[in-house]
Amino acid sequence: MIRRNPAFIAIALSGMILISCARFRVQELKPARSFAIPLSAAFPSITKGADEYTRPLNLAGIPLSAGILGNRIFLSDPSSGVVRVFKRNSDKPEFIIGDKMDKSEEAELIKVRAGIPCEVVSDDDENAFIAVHEAALDEKPEPEVPPENRFTDKPPGGQFTTTPARIVQIKDDAVIAQFGREGREGPPFERILRMHAFENTLYVFHSIADAKALSVFQNGKRIRHLESFAIKDQDITKYFVDIEDIFPAGQTAIVSVALRNKNTFAPEQRRIYSWEGGDPRLLYTIDEEGDQFIAARPDGGFTLANSEDGNRLLLKIYSPSGEYLNNRLLVFPDFRNSWREVSLDMTGRVFSNRIFQGKFEVYEWK
């Protein structure tokens, strides 16, 4: 007969309760506005005539995200083929990045190769990176999207993201590098899916033929490349392995994978892996249908997002070993439809933007 010490049992139960409480503790974040730029100044061709008496605003032509660099914001306008750069809460662009600009605009032009600028990201070292797609404004990309891309892609800048692209690096109001998927002299990216920047380093999640990869660049030179992600489970052949995201986390990467039915393409399971280029390590199997991977964390952990009732977004925080730690809650004020994409950067900061009262607004949640 084994006798258990009542005091030990009480301590153990207390520890379990503390862990459980920490796991389900919810920290509510509040939005603080960082930028408010008039839509008519940022997207003049899109907003022209867009009022209740003529036609609604074409939200599809306004990017979901913006590049933020100190007290500046970089807003790409694919319909005009330029990126307009504003100082905080200014109503006129400080300078414009593109092949050319409209004669009616008064700003300095930073000239780059012709194309359609879409996604813009920035780091903490005064660099801005712009994906410039090799398409003319009157060109129409192929309308048919292969099934493996239909459900998981989040186009950062609209229809032209399906076309080849090069990246332009801007620093101190000048172009310092233009490069493709292998560096300055290499071919263009076939398709850029997502970009992240941190400490003078750019991370590009992109497609190469039927594969997906993460390439790492410094000053236009590719310094690392992760490709050929493969799962070795015995039953994996019965699924289509859909790599939904590869998010950098220090020297490793966090990979979000959907295992899809080969006939219907419906997701049957989602998993989160840690990957350094060799065999991936399974961290977590997502068991709640509403949970979606949103970002890796600086420590090698990750964050899942769950839109609870449409007006609230719950961010679930996990450790590098896949342990559920705690939660952060975003409650969207005013009109929910005015709020757009929520994103986390590589340091864990939470941002979102919205179109409200005639302005493009950017908020940080703290």
**pLDDT tens digits for range 201-248:** 999 999 998 899 999 999 999 999 999 999 988 889 999 999 999 999
Whether the CA torsion 296, 183, 173, 86 is positive or negative: it is: negative
Side chain identity at residue 179, one-letter code = F
What are the tokens at 125? 């070292």
H helices within the chain, ranges in order?
6-24, 39-42, 44-47, 147-150
pLDDT surpasses 80 at 161: no
**Rounded-to-integer distance, Cα 40 and Cα 22, Å:** 46
What are the tokens at 58? 């074409």
**Rounded-to-integer distance, Cα 272 and Cα 257, Å:** 6
Q: 153 or 102: which carries more pLDDT confidence?
A: 102
Q: Please give the average per-residue pLDDT across 66-73, as a whole number.
A: 92
* Per-residue b or e along 195-207, where b marks 16 or more CB atoms closer than 10 Å to that residue's CB: bbbbeebbbbbbb
Confidence of residue 114 (pLDDT cuts 50, 70, 90): confident
Strand partners, 328: 27, 315
Q: Please give the average per-residue pLDDT across 21-41, as a whole number.
A: 87
Average pLDDT over the chain, rounded to an integer: 85
Q: 161 or 126: which carries more pLDDT confidence?
A: 126
Q: What is the 3-state secondary structure (H, E, C) of 169-209?
A: EEECCEEEEEEECCECCCCCECEEEEEEEECCEEEEEEEEC
Neighbours of 288 (CB within 10 A): 10
Q: Please give the average per-residue pLDDT across 164-172, as a whole number.
A: 94
What are the tokens at 350? 């939470």
Q: Please give the average per-residue pLDDT across 158-163, as a whole number.
A: 65
* Per-residue b or e along 158-189, where b marks 16 or more CB atoms closer than 10 Å to that residue's CB: bbbbbbbbbbbbbbeeeeebebbbeeeeeebb
* Residue pointed to by tokens 């295992």: 259
Among the four given CATH numbers 3.40.50.1110, 2.60.40.10, 2.40.128.630, 3.30.360.10, the one describing domain 38-227: 2.40.128.630
- 3-state secondary structure (DSSP) of residue 76: strand
pTM score of the predicted model:
0.85
Q: Please give the average per-residue pLDDT across 43-64, as a whole number.
A: 65
pLDDT surpasses 90 at 195: yes
Q: Please give the average per-residue pLDDT across 302-320, as a whole number.
A: 92
* Residue pointed to by tokens 């032209």: 160
Radius of gyration of the chain (CA): 22
Q: Which of 16-30, 193-207, 327-341 has the lowest mean pLDDT?
A: 16-30
Q: 122 or 2: which carries more pLDDT confidence?
A: 122
pLDDT surpasses 70 at 352: yes
* Per-residue pLDDT at 233: 87
Q: Please give the average per-residue pLDDT across 265-289, as a whole number.
A: 94
Q: What single DSSP character describes residue 134?
A: S
Confidence of residue 283 (pLDDT cuts 50, 70, 90): very high
